[in-house]
Structure 1
Amino acid sequence: MELPRLDHMGVVVDDLDATAAFFFDLGFEREGGGPVEGEWVDEVVGLDGVRVEIVMVRTPDGSGKLELIKFHEPADTEGANPLPANRLGFRHIAIAVDDLNTIVDGLRAKGFDTVGEIRDFEDTYRLCYVRGPEGLIVELAEQIASEGAS
């Protein structure tokens, strides 16, 4: 069986507006969203009484989508837990950007910062992890030279 494509990734958040704004600042565009509830969603996610608000965001070229999800019911009782980059499980998403330093400067002006340092990988990519709202980790990757270039 051939996998046709990755459709989207879901990100559960508490502050839907702040998280959506963070991704808009990175260049994502709103694709849609709204409230979701009912027996069908209860059965899909394995919880009772689900009532969520969703914002779908996508990259400008449409190649990547995130489903930002705020659970109103049942609510998470533990809250955000900003885990370290080595914790098992889905830990970050990577976004190709054109001007990493300018983007990081803009995010820092809004109170976000890098997890570690901005570093170049083999003169090909400039990379960093940024800690977003609620502990989310986003890797920014700027291609600074063609791969295989000498």
Structure 2
Amino acid sequence: MIRYAHTNLIAKDWKQLVEFYEAVFECIPIPPDRDLSGEWLDKATGLENANIRGIHLRMPGYEEGGPTLEIFEYNEMPERPKIETNTPGFSHIAFAVDDVQAFAEKVIAQGGSFVGDLTERHIEGVGDLVFQYVADPEGNIIELQSWIKNRA
């Protein structure tokens, strides 16, 4: 069996980032809050004296047991390089929304920022896509997208 479980997002301030994802995308906290440390964690992470605090958030559109966004903060973290849409590695998380512009405005109202402009594109054989890249308050890139599928 294979099933997608979660995506981990390391935050400078996990509580602030949790509030953002709850307010904008209606993610639901799944208790308990985590406060993890010990030899087992050092072994798993390859770090010494690691301490992780955070929580899992159920992604919108899923029932209990669905995939989560795991927002964690470590006791010690290096400075993060500036992430662009073309930075190698995981680039962004995407949310399907009914109104891209309205959600982009919610992102801004909650302390996020614009990365690119609202864009529309017809993709032959697939449909019409409206999307925009934005960033959460810590600079993590989010794609907001809305599809109108081709009708057969």
- Give the whole-Å Cα distance in 2 for the aligned partners of 1:27 and 1:121: 27
Q: 1:77 is matched with which residue?
A: 78
- Give the whole-Å Cα distance in 1 for the aligned partners of 2:70 and 2:110: 23
- Give the whole-Å Cα distance in 1 for the aligned partners of 2:70 and 2:111: 23
Q: 2:51 is matched with which residue?
A: 51
The number of equivalent residue pairs is 143
Q: 1:65 is matched with which residue?
A: 68
Please report how far the alpha carbon of residue 42 of structure 1 lies from its aligned counterpart in structure 2 after TM superposition.
1.1
Please report how far the alpha carbon of residue 107 of structure 1 lies from its aligned counterpart in structure 2 after TM superposition.
1.9
CA contact (8 A) 1:30 1:55 kept: yes
Structure 1 segments of 4+ aligned residues over 3 angstroms from their partners = none
TM-score by length of 1: 0.85
Q: 1:142 is matched with which residue?
A: 146
Structure 2 residues not aligned, in runs of 5+: none
Deviations, residues 95-124 of structure 1 (Å, cap 9, x unaligned)? 111222211112222332220111122162
Report the identity percentage. Answer: 26
CA contact (8 A) 2:104 2:132 kept: no
Structure 1 residues not aligned, in runs of 5+: none
TM-score by length of 2: 0.84
Q: What is the RMSD of the two structures over their aligned residues, measured on CA atoms?
A: 1.8
